[in-house]
């Protein structure tokens, strides 16, 4: 005669100590990029210095650019891009544009909101419009 017994599954303590992996990432997250950058990060000082110097050059840039035609990327953003490329050894503008897609530090330094579209590799930082 065969007897079937329903037994509770055995639970191992190791499995309970290990955290659970979430099946789906959050679709909406509200946070400030500013709050995500550590207050003692060395790039904070560099950003403050760059912003101060570039604000002084704003009138010079205004005189250099035409009032008509297709809008370009602000020269301040181009110069800040070059700073990031040099400081983080980014190999190309294409790779920089890719980094802007997922690197919060780059977006923060560039003052680029999470809602703004990322520059795509088919664009150059010198020719993309707005």
Global model pTM greater than 0.85: no
CB 114 within 8 A of CB 33: yes
In the predicted model, is pLDDT for residue 33 greater than 50? yes
Q: Which of 5-19, 80-94, 112-126 has the lowest mean pLDDT?
A: 5-19
Tokens of 104: 């919060």
Kindly report, residue by residue over 59-92, the tens digit of the pLDDT. 999 899 888 888 878 899 999 999 999 999 999 8
Structure tokens at 15: 């499995």
Q: Give DSSP secondary structure letters for 60-101.
A: HHHHHS-SSS-----HHHHHHHHHHHHHTT---HHHHHHHHH
């Amino acid at each position: 005669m065969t007897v079937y017994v329903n037994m509770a599954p055995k639970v191992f303590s190791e499995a309970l100590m290990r955290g659970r992996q979430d099946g789906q990432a959050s679709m909406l997250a509200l946070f400030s990029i500013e709050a995500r950058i550590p207050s003692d990060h060395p790039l904070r000082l560099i950003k403050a210095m760059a912003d101060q110097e570039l604000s002084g050059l704003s009138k010079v840039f205004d005189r250099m650019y035409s009032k008509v035609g297709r809008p370009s990327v602000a020269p301040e953003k181009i110069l800040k891009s070059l700073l990031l490329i040099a400081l983080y050894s980014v190999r190309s503008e294409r790779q920089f544009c890719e980094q802007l897609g997922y690197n919060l530090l780059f977006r923060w330094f560039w003052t680029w909101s999470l809602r703004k579209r990322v520059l795509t590799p088919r664009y150059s930082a010198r020719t993309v419009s707005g």
